[in-house]
Amino acid sequence: MEKLRPRAEIGAAERAEIFHEQYGNDLDAADALPEFIIAAGDYISNIVGAGETDAGMAVIVKGLVAVSGGNIADPSQWRAALMEARSNCYSEWEVGSHLHNLAAYADYGIVLHDSEDPGELAHHIQTLVAEAQSLLAKTPIAQWGLSSNNPLAQLVSVASNRWALDNNEAVEPAALAFFGKLSEGRVRNLMSGENRIFSSKDGKIPAQEALKWLAGRPEFWNSIWRDQSLPDYPHEPSAPLEQAAFVPVARDGSMFHPGLKRGSSYTIGKKGSEEQVADFHDALARLQRMPVAYWRRPNASGNWGSVAGIRWERVDLAALKSPST
């Protein structure tokens, strides 16, 4: 059996690629947003009535639903349409992109930011954490009957506890369990009994003890953001995009675009379960719903091979109309 490569040995650039590949499998706090929006809509409906609320909420979620390849035939169906399109909340809604970037820090110990100045990065982390904490605090979780262990609450816990570790402050057992890939019960067992390895400081574990233990856990992504060096990501253009869309980008930098039609259709999906889709927008919508986007495109030799998306890039769809893109 192949030995697990210690994650502490993996640099920031590779971590960023892995994060983009794996995003959605864990700590996707934007996945909590549809329940928040629906609960807010239900609350408003109790005040102004279902008809006017449905009309307004349908407008609010229309863009997200359209990007996901759906539509809202009747305003009363906005809830179902929103739930169907929920996988794109992180990329389409303003706070979603912030939660996405916070997850890279919380789980992988890196910061998705152009700067390499530790002070500027620290300020950026604090801003993201504070924004997520504020959103969670302002959401009436209990009053609206929402889960207290929702994805946003999970991200806030992990991110704030990583920040605590990064600043030599005590950490909560649940967060340490996440970092070390153990159950919370196992960590709490290590805090009690004759053979305990952790002391307790107001129910938390001192940073020095936690970091010493995590150093022996190959599953732990240690914080390297103070010394990170990430690949350059393209800046958003200053001019407004004529027709914005998110398209998947492969590890080699190639993206899914209208020029990839072979014959009369695009080939998408993982090998063994590929499908042919005639329309580009339909193909893109299906890719957006996949856990990992796969599509076929010609390589430098002209051979059509399958590639997987490792990240999503916001582009001007009008600029992708040319098959030479």
pLDDT reported for residue 301: 61
Question: Is residue 144 within 8 Å of 46, Cβ to Cβ?
Answer: no
pLDDT in tens, 32-52: 999 999 999 999 999 999 999
pLDDT reported for residue 232: 57
Closest CA to 105 of 241, 265, 221: 221
Closest CA to 158 of 179, 141, 138: 179
pLDDT reported for residue 325: 38
Helix (H), strand (E) at residue 246: strand 244-250
Cβ contacts of 247 within 8 Å, gap of 6 or more: 255, 256, 257, 284, 312, 313, 315, 320
Which residues, given as ranges, of the chain have pLDDT below 50? 1-2, 234-237, 322-325
Question: Is residue 313 within 8 Å of 249, Cβ to Cβ?
Answer: yes
Cα–Cα distance, 21 to 121 (Å, whole number): 23
Q: What residue type is 16 in one-letter code?
A: A
pLDDT reported for residue 235: 47
pLDDT in tens, 164-176: 999 999 999 999 9
pLDDT reported for residue 3: 61
Cα–Cα distance, 322 to 325 (Å, whole number): 6
Question: Is residue 308 within 8 Å of 292, Cβ to Cβ?
Answer: yes
Question: Is residue 207 within 8 Å of 170, Cβ to Cβ?
Answer: yes
pLDDT reported for residue 239: 59
| For the chain, domain boundaries | 7-225, 245-320
Question: DSSP letters along 212-231, please?
Answer: HHHTT-TT-----GGG--PP
pLDDT reported for residue 306: 80
